Copies of this chain bind each other. A is one copy, B any other.
Amino acid sequence: MSNVNGKRFLKPGKYLMMGNVAMAEGALSSGLKFFGGYPITPSTEVIEHLAKRLPEVGGCCMQMEDELASINAVMGASLVGAKAMTATSGPGLSLMTETISMAANIEIPFVFCDVQRCGPGTGFVTVPHHNDIGLTRFAGNGEFEVIAFAPMSCQELFDLTITAFNYAETYRCPIFILSDAYLGHIHEVVNIPPKEEILKRVIDRTIPKDTKGAKFTYEDIKTHKLTIPKPYIVGTEFCPPLIIHLPHNQDGILMPEENSLRFMKIMIDKIRDNIDKISLTEEYKLDDAEIIIISYGLPVRASYRAVDLARKKGIKVGIFRLITVWPFPKEKVKQVVAGAKAIIVPEMNYTGVIAEQVERVTDLNIPVIKVPKVATLHHPDDILKAIEEVAK
């Protein structure tokens, strides 16, 4: 796995890159060795780019027969120690949920790129729509927590993909990158740092030197302390005798039914307990803000502009941006919204999945206003209008 071929890293410098390509390059920089996918608009450039690039670094890019095969092959590759990824869009994600749930159970690290398009059903394939937000959180039967990032530029697609792989190694739960038809096809300048700098950021897949008495997964049998060890690798000494997606102890041996709740807690608390580390956020002009915009992904960029315009008109408005969408940083948001005059949540969907989360931590007398938009980007004026409305 240490086959760091010269071609893994692009020469440092600036590149004009499509979003989907930036994501793929981020993955390669992280040490991606296996990609399993099935073409689907608007994610297809990811597999196309990697079909060319992965063999160059001695990796393998496989076009599988369908999405089910793709995600299962990704899981297989990760099991034997390869950094692995898939990319798809909503319909593919739907098909993959059973496997995602299983991977969550056996804590297999991989990265999942969801380039969202407009559903339901086959839908409009070339337009953006953040309509998988709810589905990524509940991405399969059973209970588990996921981590999902919402980048908003090509540079972030590159950088957050590296972070995603690191989180995958660390937290061993499904890691989503929520892109969309628009972001995936935008071209922007991406700054590729030197190889050394990237390598410093990357967490490699290694196994402990001493594999005797190694802990493979979950909480310590004796102390009941929640620990997340390095992922095990099939084909090495560092592997439990049995890998089974039933509630199991850290050696892969089944836990009795009665302990199911304890197992669920482990699956969920390993993320919730680390939420402060996992949750990436950004604040913009929040200090004196009375009106707070909470958003993620591309609508944040329209929000910047809207805030600047509103500030010119003397309206005290700021932005709290979720870079990590899941887990939702409940406590942090609670602090941010406390005492606000109004909350505005521009989302690229009608349901307002994140708006619902905001409502949980907002006093009933503070209005939470949705600004839905579908199939096309929010125009800064859409958000400005909402700001002016509540500022009145």
Contacts and interface: CB of A to CB of B under 8 A. Distances in A.
Interface in A112-160: 118-124, 127, 129, 131-132, 134-135, 137-144
A127 B143 CA distance: 14
Interface in A85-137: 89-91, 93-95, 97-98, 101-102, 104-106, 118-124, 127, 129, 131-132, 134-135, 137
Interface stretch (A222-230, A263-271, A285-293, A296-304): A263-271
A276 interface: no
A142 B127 contact: no
Interface stretch (A45-53, A209-217, A253-261): A253-261
Contact of A135 (B140, B247, B373): B140
Contacts of A206: none
A350 interface: yes
A134 B137 contact: yes
Interface residues of A, number: 63
Most chain B C-beta atoms within 10 Å of own C-beta, residue among A134, A137, A260: A260
B131 A102 contact: no
Interface stretch (A161-169, A315-323, A355-363): A355-363
Copies of this polypeptide in the complex: 2
Most chain B C-beta atoms within 10 Å of own C-beta, residue among A89, A127, A138, A357: A138
B124 A245 contact: no
A31 B278 CA distance: 51
A375 interface: yes
A57 interface: no
A369 interface: no
Interface in A58-106: 68, 89-91, 93-95, 97-98, 101-102, 104-106
Contacts of A350: 143, 261, 264-265, 268
A142 B138 contact: no
A348 to B, nearest CB: 10
A364 interface: yes
A178 to B, nearest CB: 12
Most chain B C-beta atoms within 10 Å of own C-beta, residue among A122, A141, A261: A141
A349 interface: yes
A130 to B, nearest CB: 10
A91 B91 CA distance: 17
A281 interface: no
A120 B144 contact: yes
Given A97-B94, A261-B372, A142 B131 contact: yes
A247 B350 CA distance: 14
A246 interface: yes
Contacts of A349: 143, 264
A236 interface: no
A5 interface: no
Most chain B C-beta atoms within 10 Å of own C-beta, residue among A93, A134, A357: A134
A183 to B, nearest CB: 17
B142 A119 contact: yes
A335 interface: no
Contacts of A334: 364
Interface of A: 68, 89-91, 93-95, 97-98, 101-102, 104-106, 118-124, 127, 129, 131-132, 134-135, 137-144, 245-247, 257-258, 260-261, 264-265, 267-268, 334, 349-351, 356-357, 359-364, 372-376
